[in-house]
């Protein structure tokens, strides 16, 4: 068997001459139409590696570990604000306000309201309050059991579901602005340096 090599006519990868002959001058991934997927996977992996090595990510991971391990009483008031708003963003962007209120994140509701007020995030606060009113009316959000009982009662209510989806979309539309507010706050408090 010959180990003579050549280059793929499409991507330039080094391949065996035998492979090139069998596949019209292409490597196996190019001949199968998989090269773009492979390259996209490599690109995403490099982005992920850069993200998890970034100061904002490292700070967030440390803050989450401290908040869950030691409780919020052991983080600074500024870190509590950052944590509460970060949890709101993460939960809503992952599964909407329904997820935010149905998970333990809903326990942070009052803290999140205060954090958004302190950070001047009035639009995000308005959306959070609209979602709260849709689900709980004038009643307090309450503990996990109370919240989930209320959510169960409203599960099939198309009007409430549509309203929640609208709230999800509204918060999503202001993600960049809210993230910028939080980044400025984090940099000003020395949580991490300004990302480049």
Q: What is the pLDDT of residues 104-123, one digit of tens each?
A: 999 999 999 999 999 999 99
Residue 104 and residue 176 in one domain: yes
Task: Let me know if residue 154 belongs to a domain.
Answer: yes
Query: Is 20 a member of any domain?
Result: yes
Same domain, 25 and 65: no
In a domain, residue 111? The reply is yes
Same domain, 29 and 64: no
Could you tell me the residue range of the domain that residue 45 belongs to? 5-50
Give the residues across from 5 on adjacent strands: 16
Same domain, 72 and 169: yes
- In-domain check, residue 194: no
Same domain, 43 and 102: no
Helices 122-136 & 144-154 angle (0-180, nearest 10)? 70
d(CA 90, CA 51): 16
Same domain for 29 and 72? Answer: no
For residues 43 and 58, membership in a common domain is answered with no
Average pLDDT score over residue span 148-172 = 91
Residues 97 and 123 in one domain: yes
- How many domains does one find in the chain? 2
| pLDDT (0 to 100) of residue 55 | 93
Per-residue buried b or exposed e for 161-190, using 16+ beta carbons within 10 Å of the residue's own CB = eebbeebbebbeebeeebeebbeebbeeee
pLDDT recorded at residue 1: 57
Which of helix, strand or coil describes residue 192?
coil
**Minimum mean pLDDT among 40-49, 55-64, 65-74, 185-194: which range?**
65-74
In a domain, 79, yes or no: yes
């Amino acid at each position: 068997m010959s180990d003579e090599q050549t280059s793929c006519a499409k991507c330039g990868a080094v391949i065996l001459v035998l492979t090139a002959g069998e596949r019209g001058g292409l490597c196996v991934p190019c001949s199968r139409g998989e090269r773009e997927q492979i390259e996209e996977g490599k690109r995403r992996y490099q982005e992920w590696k850069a993200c998890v090595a970034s100061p904002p990510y490292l700070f967030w991971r440390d803050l989450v570990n401290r908040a869950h391990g030691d409780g919020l009483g052991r983080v600074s008031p500024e870190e509590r604000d950052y944590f509460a708003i970060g949890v709101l963003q993460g939960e809503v962007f992952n599964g909407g306000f329904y997820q935010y209120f149905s998970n333990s994140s809903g326990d942070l509701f009052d803290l999140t309201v205060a954090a958004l007020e302190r950070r001047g995030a009035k639009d995000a606060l308005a959306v959070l309050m609209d979602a709260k009113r849709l689900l709980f009316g004038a009643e307090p959000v309450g503990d996990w059991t109370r919240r989930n009982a209320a959510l169960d009662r409203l599960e099939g209510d198309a009007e409430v579901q549509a309203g929640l989806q609208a709230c999800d979309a509204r918060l999503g539309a202001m993600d960049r602005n809210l993230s910028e507010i939080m980044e400025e706050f984090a940099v000003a408090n020395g949580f991490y340096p300004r990302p480049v």
